[in-house]
Structure 1
Amino acid sequence: MTTAWTIRAITRATLPILLVLTLVELGSGLVLLGFEATLLQYPSLLILVPVVIGTAGNLGSVLAARLSTALHLGTLSFVDETLLGNALATVALALTMFPAIGIGTWALAAFTGGSRLPFVTVLLVSITSGVVLAVISVLVTVLVTYAAYRLRLDPDDVVIPIVTNTCDVLGVLVLFAVTQLLV
Structure 2
Amino acid sequence: MSTEWTVRAITRAMLPILLVLTLVEVGSGLVLGRFETQLLQYPTLLALVPVTIGTAGNLGSILAARLSTAFHLGTLSFDPRDENLAGNALATFALAVSIFPIVGVGAWGLTALVSGAQLEPQTVVAISLASGIALAVLAIAVTVAVTYVAYRFRLDPDDVVIPIVTNTCDVLGVVVLFATVQLLL
Question: Contact 2:44–2:107 (CA<8 Å) still a contact in 1?
Answer: yes
- Measured after TM superposition, the shift of residue 2 of structure 1 is 3.7
- TM-score of the aligned structures, taking structure 2 as reference length: 0.97
**What is the match of residue 67 of structure 1?**
67
**What is the match of residue 55 of structure 1?**
55
- Residue ranges of structure 2 left out of the alignment (5+ in a row): none
Aligned mates of 2:48, 2:154 — CA distance in 1: 37
Amino acid at match of 2:7: I
- Measured after TM superposition, the shift of residue 19 of structure 1 is 0.4
Aligned mates of 2:25, 2:162 — CA distance in 1: 15
**What is the match of residue 34 of structure 2?**
34
Q: Does 1:104 align with 2:115?
A: no
Aligned mates of 2:54, 2:162 — CA distance in 1: 13
- Name segments (4+ residues, structure 1) moved above 4 Å: none
Deviations 1:95-147 (A, max 9, x none): 11001101111000100124111111000000000110011000000000000
Aligned mates of 2:40, 2:131 — CA distance in 1: 19
Aligned mates of 1:2, 1:24 — CA distance in 2: 27
The equivalent position to 1:172 in structure 2, one of 164, 171, 174, is: 174
- TM-score of the aligned structures, taking structure 1 as reference length: 0.98
Aligned mates of 2:116, 2:130 — CA distance in 1: 22
The secondary structure found in structure 2 opposite 1:76 is coil
- Measured after TM superposition, the shift of residue 85 of structure 1 is 0.1
**What is the match of residue 130 of structure 1?**
132
Aligned mates of 1:2, 1:181 — CA distance in 2: 46
The secondary structure found in structure 2 opposite 1:5 is coil
Aligned mates of 2:9, 2:55 — CA distance in 1: 30
Amino acid at match of 2:22: T
The secondary structure found in structure 2 opposite 1:117 is coil
Aligned mates of 1:53, 1:92 — CA distance in 2: 17
Question: Contact 2:64–2:161 (CA<8 Å) still a contact in 1?
Answer: yes
Aligned mates of 1:90, 1:68 — CA distance in 2: 15
What's the RMSD between the two structures over aligned residues? 0.7
Aligned mates of 1:70, 1:8 — CA distance in 2: 27
Aligned mates of 2:178, 2:54 — CA distance in 1: 15
Question: Contact 1:133–1:170 (CA<8 Å) still a contact in 2?
Answer: yes
Aligned mates of 1:152, 1:94 — CA distance in 2: 30
Using the aligned pairs only, state the percent identity.
71
